[in-house]
Structure 1
């Protein structure tokens, strides 16, 4: 889904030391609000922000900080790491056979000592399926789930998916524990089997003595009530929290110091292309536009070094696709010139734009959501870069609602889009005609062109692939992209084959992948992160 995104403008001025339960260069006086007090701490304690009026139930929490804290209380079957690879958590094994996935559970118990069973997984799946958020989206392929023994769960799928394990990140809680209430009728935090569990004392998590994995040095986590962005900024400024995370979806300027860890977000910023356009239906022009863009400059100047240039449709963090994704981080104007020449644009006019033999130049309208500061800056940079390459771009700025209306009506040449790529790397809703966000896509009759200047790929038998096979259609007229995804799901093509076909067909123009940033107290060591869990290595934290 294309997100409404107001990008955060970062100011990395050093104005404070992050403190909390861990040691800090700056000593902090006791910090209190009307309900809780954060005391000076021991080296076995850290401090996090949360909202006491919100739940720590991962399926009902509404605030980002509470959803992040909940990841310390609950465990999924599988997590993905910062390189987008699956890591088994409650799953002892994950076996994929066609349209079935069988998960065998580890010998784990909940914090109340009751065993984690397949029935608990089924119960949690049903909560996740009805959640309506991220976890629901990740389970789109599942048609049914059943417990076939106490420790074995069977997932039936609507289609084969070699990377389905990456989608098994929904939190597992004890069956029925989400319905437990206190004497006032307020729902209690459900029972989990994660690294920490709520203590009897308010605003405190304690290490879960029953956790199935490593039990680290951090024995307690103190929670500070921060109900809104102003209070979050306040606690950061006075050094009251040991961690602060931002995915840059807000519009506050955050000033903080400490250690910085980049989180690879599987979020692609791209140029959507209207291939119904007489000129943009030609892949030569899409290649020309792509090679004229300085992606590195976009990352630096529009996204404030919180992004990585896209080398293709899949994140550069994905090792399996890295070798075949060949888009360059900086512009290569010779490739642009060569591709324009193939379309008959061989000369420049007095304004510096390429023209055909009749003196006609290419003029492209770029649509951008003006509510996103980063995208607005990026659009202006792209227009300048393409002007230098001899292609005129006119920017249309509009509010988000109008932006959605126009792209839905295919009323654009190019648009600046953003999509969260699913953990199983399924981009079919974007890159195949008829997909829910495949705006402007008309790939029924692909042409025979190949990106000029890109390296020739080798097939498995060592022969050079000149692009003819990926540019053909079958008897049904299916596009090469649909064909390769069908082969990928059937197991006859790899993710690198998909990546290579997408580069060749280029239904959109990939620009960059966004980063999140986890700021932390510099005295905390052994921090690893992932988009799935920013506290990925919490059980291994150490304080200097």
Structure 2
């Protein structure tokens, strides 16, 4: 008994080791999914028509007042959005029947005949009210519609979004939950809240526009005030299904079957282009060619990440169409060094390139000391650059000091993570005037290309080529999250970051 208790403590200790930061949440790893199918119910196993999910009874189950991650995960079951995104970030219309983009306007036609779970019709006014909640500060969806200047109902089924700047991928942001204007606690989703007190549960919504739901008839809500004990509850079978964005360095297996969930979280190498040695885009390309992205995704993130050969999510359907890969190429990097005036024949006695009049070619890499994934990337990059002939000094700082150094641009290079919105907008990383433009120098050509790409005047491939000519930062990888079932449970879950129950009606 004591050995089992110690094993549990070690597993939980691994879970709790983390270093959180707004720009770059820490990483973690999970075991590969086991492709086992659920067994038929036995005397000791529950029926597979009842799923047990954690929630927080001290926090609301309404979209724009909920703050608990557990409760927010349940929102897509009860409140449908205008659209949902699949794992390739492709738009699928839900409450929207038609979406038209014209310049700086997005016109949405609401699906005909949809009702809320209480039978009241869902209208354009409800969509406008919901969008206004998103635009208000202090809710979990704030920022999603920051490019919206105005939203208004044209008629009972038509909503017009007017944007500050054109965005051809604006429809990717219409994933916010639609609530009834007069009754914000009522939605139109696949399930409805039932029961009372400690016996709250979700039942299939008989009025759902999509028709009859799948085999999961009832979802029991298990009160769990502490998010950190979810893994323990999953192992015990108290709950059956858990999502994790792997932001807390979880290392233990958290379920008998685990599946990856794509995240729009970019881990990248920032570059201080104001430093003379890094001002030339060719030198930034040297560093780019030294990156073994696939190897870093495998080693630093235990394959719970995807190598990023563009600044955009590799699963994004438009990125997949390009089929771009760039393997590490130290030979090509050495040729560029020759062009830049760094001769391999004039390396010092230890094999490092020499900067004329300054000595050894040395770069200082700033990294958050509380993030194990990026510390490992730093260590492996240091080893690679040592082999290539550049000395990399790792400057690891605690979170607050790291943030201060970023703000002061006190670095040559830095490792960070940023969560992008699902319209794939990297604008805030392309200019020193923007919040995330650390170390970036103004490049009018790239900014114009970005504006053209956002508006649809430039295609993905052309923009990626222009980005590659400038390289204001170096994409490395995109992290993944996981969904895990308790032992004895398994369904082919196509979970997404926006809806971990994406295809529950087909389980």
| Structure 2 residue corresponding to 1:3, chosen from 2, 22, 30 | 22
Query: What is the rounded CA distance, in whole Å, between the counterparts of 1:145 and 1:380 in structure 2?
Result: 48
> SS of 1:525's equivalent?
coil
CA, structure 1 residues 17+333, in 2 after alignment: closer, same or farther (shift >3 Å)? closer
Write the distance in 1 (CA, Å) between the matches of 2:268 and 2:43. Answer: 45
Distance 1:356 1:127, change over 3 A: closer
- Structure 2 unaligned spans of 5+: 1-20
1:173 paired residue among 179, 196, 219: 179
* Aligned partner of residue 464 in structure 2, secondary structure: helix
Q: How far 1:134 sits from its partner (Å)?
A: 5.2
Question: Secondary structure of the equivalent of 1:351?
Answer: coil
Q: Quote the Cα distance in structure 2 between the aligned partners of 1:240 and 1:60.
A: 27
Which residue is equivalent to 1:459? none
Residues 317-341 of structure 1 deviation map (CA, whole Å, 9 limit, x = unaligned): 123234557452x421112111111
Partner of 2:328: 331
Aligned pairs for 1:53-452 (under 5 A) are: 53-106=58-111, 107-133=113-139, 135-178=141-184, 190-201=185-196, 202-214=199-211, 215-322=213-320, 324=322, 326-328=324-326, 330-347=327-344, 348-355=347-354, 360-444=359-443
Q: Is the 8 A contact 2:23 2:419 kept in 1?
A: no
* Distance of aligned partners of 1:529 and 1:9 in 2 relative to their CA distance in 1, 3 Å threshold: closer
Partners of 1:81 and 1:11 in 2: how far apart?
A: 22
2:248 is paired with a residue of what secondary structure? Answer: coil
CA distance in 2, matches of 1:80, 1:359: 52
What is the DSSP-based 3-state SS (H/G/I as helix, E as strand, rest coil) of the residue aligned with 1:509?
strand
Partner SS state of residue 386, structure 1: helix
Map Cα deviations across residues 12-58 of structure 1 (whole Å, 9 max, x no partner): 499x9999xx7589976xxxxxxxxxxx6433221111111111112
Query: Which is helix-richer, 1 or 2?
Result: 2
Query: 1:497, CA displacement in angstroms?
Result: 2.2
Give yes or no for contact 2:151–2:162 (8 Å, CA) kept in 1: yes
Structure 1, gaps ≥5 residues long: 29-39, 179-189, 445-478
**1:130–1:259 distance in 2 versus 1, CA, 3 Å:** same
Residues 285 and 398 (structure 1), Cα distance of their counterparts in 2 relative to 1, 3 Å cut: same
Residues paired across the two proteins, number:
480
Cα distance 1:149–1:205, how it changes in 2: closer, same or farther (>3 A)?
Answer: same
Counterpart Cα distance in 2 of 1:493 and 1:338: 31
Aligned to 1:464: none
2:494 corresponding residue in structure 1: 528
Matched, 1:501 2:466: yes
Structure 2 residue aligned with 1:481: 446
- 2:365, 2:411 within 8 Å by CA — same for their partners in 1? yes
Q: Give 1:169 deviation, angstroms.
A: 1.0
Q: Residues 286 and 232 from structure 1, CA distance in 2 versus in 1: closer, same or farther, beyond 3 angstroms?
A: same
Preserved contact between residue 24 and residue 267 of structure 2 (Cα < 8 Å): no
Aligned to 1:37: none
Alignment check: 8 A CA contact 1:8 1:253 kept? no
Supply the distance in 1 between the matched residues of 2:413 and 2:388 (Cα, whole angstroms).
17
Supply the distance in 2 between the matched residues of 1:353 and 1:417 (Cα, whole angstroms). 26
TM-score by length of 1: 0.83
Q: Per the alignment, in what secondary structure is the counterpart of residue 72 of structure 1?
A: helix
Question: 1 CA distance for matches of 2:279 and 2:323?
Answer: 22
| Superposed CA offset, 1:229-281 (max 9, x none) | 45323311212222111111124544333322211111110000000000111
Distance 1:308 1:133 in 2: 30
Q: 1:332 to 1:26 in 2, by over 3 A?
A: farther
Aligned partner of 2:55 in structure 1 is 50
Larger deviation, residues 357-366 vs 87-96? 357-366
Cα deviation, residue 301, structure 1: 2.0
Q: C-alpha displacement at 1:11, in angstroms?
A: 6.0
Offset at residue 304 of structure 1 (A): 1.9
Please tell me whether residue 519 in structure 1 is matched to residue 489 in structure 2.
no
Tell me by how many angstroms 1:95 deviates. Answer: 0.7
Shift of residue 133, structure 1, vs aligned partner? 4.9
Q: Secondary structure at the match of 2:131?
A: helix
SS at match of 2:142: helix
* Partners of 1:18 and 1:24 within 8 A in 2: no
Matched-pair contact (CA < 8 Å) for 2:272–2:412: yes
8 A Cα contact 1:283 1:506, kept in partner = yes
Shift of 1:358: 5.9
Measure the CA separation in 1 of the matches of 2:426 and 2:257.
34
Query: What is the RMSD computed on CA atoms of the aligned residues?
Result: 2.5
323 and 6 in structure 1: CA distance in 2 versus 1, 3 angstrom threshold: closer
